[in-house]
């Protein structure tokens, strides 16, 4: 090793030593600040990546299953997939009228709408509630007087709240409304009329959310002898016979 | 390494490292900047540095790499600005214009680093090879050529009284 060169370099280095321009505390502060910034950047990057992945997955799933209601929960996702036709996904609000939004599963006794699965007591009449048929919301009655026929022994009828009137073309109506104690005195809404009994809360919610012109798709055949698991069938009108007349909401 | 230990290490090593980096860069401000930055990075790795037992060597290595990186960036930028190639070596700006500094500036980057590490920082040839990632033989060649170039420069600049004469032996 060259001692002369080493000596010259040491002298040069010693002559040009400089004190720290910053105190050590400031160095630590800078390091911590930089570390925090790095972590924040990593978190933001991860969040962006996750959001992108979720968006991609969502788009992929919807692209693969165009007939599936995007708002339906996982448990009810299979209800309408077997027979439902493709339909445009819509948001809970702002969906165009006339788009098919609700699914009535007669076999499961459920009415699924806007992500909510409601237990329903269906009383089909004839072919009014045939699988594959599509019902359209024609009217909504806050309170409706359902009148039974003479055979039921009750001509007074019953006031049923939150009734949604559904029809297919010019066919007789199917009413979806609340089963209340007052309907016990009701014999039947009519031989040519279908009836969907809902719990009072579900009926109110369905009445509030569904809009005129929207559709209810019927899937799976009705289970004829199966009692309704939801609302107490004893609370509902007898679907054998009867007529229904509406009156303006109270 | 606690905060107090880091502060003590910083206060003791900073001037020494700045002097060494000045020999390498030829610019005191640049030397301070790169050493400062190396210490900021060292804080995040303080536990590992203490375990290694050679925190000053780590800081010096980081500072030298930072200096090299800055030189290269500056050279590229100047090339773009001037639309012409820069000379082979990059003299760093600085107020100190001693003959040795000027001669060091004339050395290619690898030779200068080898000279500083070996003759100033007292690293063995093997340690220089380890730090620079070059084979031992290459380091020896760089040291030899660097010394020869320095001797030539200093002989031209200070013909009457050179700062030192080539005659040592590597190792």
Residue A105 lies in a domain: yes
Cβ distance B119 to A21 less than 8 Å, yes or no, reads no
CA Rg, chain B, in Å? Answer: 17
What is the full per-residue pLDDT of chain A (250 aa) written as tens digits? 477 788 888 888 888 888 888 888 888 888 888 888 888 888 888 888 888 888 888 777 665 544 444 444 443 333 333 333 334 344 344 455 545 578 888 888 889 988 888 998 877 666 677 777 788 888 998 888 776 655 545 556 677 889 999 888 778 888 888 887 665 555 455 556 778 889 888 999 999 988 888 888 888 765 554 444 444 443 444 443 333 444 444 3
A42 min Cα distance to partner chain B (Å): 17
CB atoms within 10 A of CB A25: 12
What is the full per-residue pLDDT of chain B (171 aa) written as tens digits? 788 888 899 999 999 999 999 888 888 888 899 999 999 999 888 887 777 778 888 899 899 888 888 877 777 776 666 665 555 554 444 444 467 788 888 888 889 889 889 888 888 899 889 888 889 999 999 999 988 888 887 776 555 554 555 544 444
Residues A197 and A142 in one domain: yes
- B37 to chain A: closest CA residue: A27
Residue A60 lies in a domain: no
ipTM value for the complex = 0.72
Q: Chain B contacts of A7, Cβ < 8 Å?
A: 164
Report which of A198, A186, A201 is spatially closest to residue A238, judged by C-alpha positions: A186
Q: How many residues comprise chain B?
A: 171
Residues A165 and A227 in one domain: yes
Q: Are B26 and B20 in contact (CB under 8 A)?
A: no
Q: Which of A17, A24, A28 lies nearest to residue B11, judging by beta carbons? A: A24
Q: How many Cα atoms occupy the beta-carbon half-sphere of B139 within 13 Å?
A: 23
What domains are defined for chain B?
A: 1-94 (no CATH), 97-171 (1.10.10.10)
The pLDDT value recorded for residue B38 is 92
Residue A33 lies in a domain: yes
| Cα B94 from Cα B65, distance rounded (Å) | 19
Task: Indicate which of A3, A11, A12, A35 best probes the interface with B, i.e. most B CBs within 10 Å of its own CB.
Answer: A12
Reading phi first (left if > 0) and then psi (alpha if -120 to 50, else beta), residue A90 is in beta
A48 min Cα distance to partner chain B (Å): 26
Q: Which of B3, B15, B98 lies nearest to residue A17, judging by beta carbons? A: B15
Q: Are A9 and B147 in contact (CB under 8 A)?
A: no
Report which of A226, A216, A245, A247 is spatially closest to residue A123, judged by C-alpha positions: A226
Cβ distance B32 to A21 less than 8 Å, yes or no, reads yes
Residues A86 and A198 in one domain: yes
Burial classification of residue A82, based on how many CB atoms lie within 10 Å of its CB (0-12 exposed, 13-18 middle, 19 or more buried)? exposed
CATH, residue A147: 2.40.440.10
Residues A135 and A239 in one domain: yes
Q: Chain B contacts of A4, Cβ < 8 Å?
A: 163-165, 167-168
């Amino acid at each position: 090793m060259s001692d002369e060169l080493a000596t010259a370099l040491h002298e040069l280095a010693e002559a040009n030593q400089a004190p720290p321009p910053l105190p050590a505390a400031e160095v630590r502060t800078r390091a911590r600040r930089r570390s925090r910034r790095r972590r924040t950047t990593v978190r933001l990057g991860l969040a962006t990546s996750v959001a992108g992945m979720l968006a991609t997955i969502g788009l992929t799933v919807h692209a693969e299953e165009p007939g599936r209601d995007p708002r339906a929960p996982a448990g009810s996702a299979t209800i309408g997939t077997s027979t439902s036709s493709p339909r445009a996904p819509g948001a809970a609000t702002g969906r165009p009228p006339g788009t098919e939004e609700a699914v009535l599963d007669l076999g499961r006794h459920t009415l699924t709408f806007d992500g909510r699965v409601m237990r329903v007591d269906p009383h089909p009449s004839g072919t009014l509630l045939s699988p594959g048929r599509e019902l359209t919301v024609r009217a909504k009655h806050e309170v409706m007087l359902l009148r039974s026929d003479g055979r039921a022994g009750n001509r007074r009828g019953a006031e049923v709240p939150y009734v949604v009137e559904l029809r297919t073309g010019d066919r007789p109506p199917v009413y979806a409304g609340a089963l209340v104690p007052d309907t016990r005195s009701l014999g039947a809404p009519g031989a040519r009329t279908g009836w969907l009994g809902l719990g009072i809360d579900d009926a109110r919610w369905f009445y509030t959310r569904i809009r005129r012109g929207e559709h209810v798709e019927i899937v799976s055949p009705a289970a004829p002898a199966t009692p309704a698991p939801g609302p107490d069938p004893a609370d509902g009108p007898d679907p054998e016979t009867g007529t229904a007349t509406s009156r303006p909401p109270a | 390494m606690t905060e107090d230990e880091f502060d003590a290490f910083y206060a003791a090593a900073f001037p020494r490292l700045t002097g060494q980096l000045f020999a390498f860069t030829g610019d005191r401000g640049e030397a301070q900047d790169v050493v400062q930055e190396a210490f900021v990075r060292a804080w995040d790795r303080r536990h590992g540095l203490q375990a290694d037992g050679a925190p000053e060597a780590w800081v010096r290595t980081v500072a030298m790499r930072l200096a090299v990186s800055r030189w290269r960036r500056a050279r590229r930028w100047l090339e773009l600005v001037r639309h012409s190639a820069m000379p082979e070596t990059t003299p760093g700006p600085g107020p100190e214009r001693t003959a040795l500094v000027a001669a060091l500036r004339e050395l290619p980057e690898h030779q200068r680093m080898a000279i500083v590490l070996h003759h100033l920082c007292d690293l063995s040839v093997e340690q220089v090879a380890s730090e620079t990632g070059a084979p031992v033989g290459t380091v020896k060649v760089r040291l030899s050529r660097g010394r020869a170039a320095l001797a030539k420069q200093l002989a031209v600049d200070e013909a009457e009284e050179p700062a030192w004469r080539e005659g040592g032996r590597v190792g």
